[in-house]
Amino acid sequence: MERRLTAFDIQKIKRSGRKIVMVTAYDYTSARLADSVGVDIILVGDSASMVMMGKKDTRLLTIDEMIVFCKSASSGVKHAMLVGDMPFMSYQVSIEEAVRNAGRLVKEGTVDAVKIEGGKEYADTVRAIVRAGIPVMGHIGLTPQKASMESGYRLRGKKAEDANLIIQDAIELQNAGAFSIVLEFTTCEVGKILSEMLSIPVIGIGSGPFCDGQVLVFHDLVGLYEDSPPFSKKYIDAAAMIKEALSRYKEEVINNLFPSDNYYWKMEPEEYGRLLRMLERKG
């Protein structure tokens, strides 16, 4: 039977020199599609807050909502490692609460690992969750949950001091037991230094080609979300294709072209005749 990749498998891919492929997906259908082409990691990201719920930022997603998205995605994943994002305020209040909520994502959301935004300030939290037996992925560089406190959604690591802060965060996370790190929207030099320096994989998003792997959001890469960040590549314009299909459906219904012969079923003429006679008798 096929089994999902583990933290150990993901680290082995880095050692083999092959790039790691990760996709953010939030539901059964999209996770199943991503899994079917063999991506290595599927992240149920807190970007679901905007992409799936139309909210203004990632902070508005609750742990209960995240669990529903995780369960849904999990049903579609056989091969990839499934990682659940820890929502804003599910790990900040105390280490105990962080471990409890990470446990909920694993037990109720059936994910294989959790992701936490933040650097050295969360090293003890990462250590405690790993001690509980749950693999943790770090997330540094641009951390959207803190965007309103920091420099907004801006490129990180332009100045040596800032780049160094990010590198020190990554080292602390590796020392705390994180099995990999997402590096969001930094200069490519930070991605290169970290991928070479750390033994754990560095998965970049907007952080250049030298990272050990890349992550994009499903809806961004297929063109389903209208507010994509500048670093995400649109591989197809699914929104245009879906709108075209919906418009054709609308026209066909209005003009009585759908359903055509292939899409409806008739009674046998004899049965139909019997039915009409039954109705006549009653009338």
Token pair in block for residue 2: 């096929």
* Residue 280 falls in the annotated catalytic set: no
Find the length of the chain. 283
Answer for the pair 237, 220: CB distance below 8 angstroms, yes or no.
no
Report, in Å, the least distance between residue 79 CB and ligand KIV: 20
Determine the residue with CB nearest ligand KIV: 45
Does 50 contact ligand KIV by CB under 6 A? no
Candidate residues 63, 86, 113, 182; the one interacting with ligand KIV per rule CB under 6 A = 182
Alpha helices, DSSP H only, in 111-209?
Answer: 123-131, 160-176, 188-197
Candidate residues 205, 211, 222, 224; the one interacting with ligand KIV per rule CB under 6 A = 205
Token pair in block for residue 153: 């959604």
Answer for the pair 39, 58: CB distance below 8 angstroms, yes or no.
no
Kindly report whether the peptide bond that precedes residue 259 is cis, defined as omega within 30 degrees of 0. Answer: yes
Answer for the pair 79, 5: CB distance below 8 angstroms, yes or no.
yes
Does 215 contact ligand KIV by CB under 6 A? yes
Please say which residue, 198 or 250, places its beta carbon nearer to ligand KIV: 198
- Residue 239 CB neighbour total at 10 angstroms: 15
Does 84 contact ligand KIV by CB under 6 A? no
Report, in Å, the least distance between residue 245 CB and ligand KIV: 27
Please say which residue, 57 or 108, places its beta carbon nearer to ligand KIV: 57
Catalytic residue, chosen from 96, 117, 161, 184, is: 184
Please say which residue, 205 or 222, places its beta carbon nearer to ligand KIV: 205
Token pair in block for residue 1: 């039977």
- Residue 279 CB neighbour total at 10 angstroms: 9
Number of residues that bind ligand KIV (CB under 6 A): 11
By CB under 6 A, the residues from 8 to 47 that bind ligand KIV are: 24, 43, 45-47
Could you write out the DSSP letters of every residue in 72-120?
HHHTT-SSSEEEEEPPTTSSSS-HHHHHHHHHHHHHTT--SEEEEEBSG
Please say which residue, 80 or 271, places its beta carbon nearer to ligand KIV: 80
Candidate residues 85, 112, 169, 212; the one interacting with ligand KIV per rule CB under 6 A = 85
Report, in Å, the least distance between residue 108 CB and ligand KIV: 19
Please say which residue, 13 or 205, places its beta carbon nearer to ligand KIV: 205
Q: Which residues of 41-63 are buried (b: 16+ CB within 10 A; e: fewer)?
A: bbbbbbbbbbbbeeeebbbebeb
Residues in touch with ligand KIV (CB under 6 A): 24, 43, 45-47, 85, 139, 182, 205, 215, 217
Catalytic positions are 184
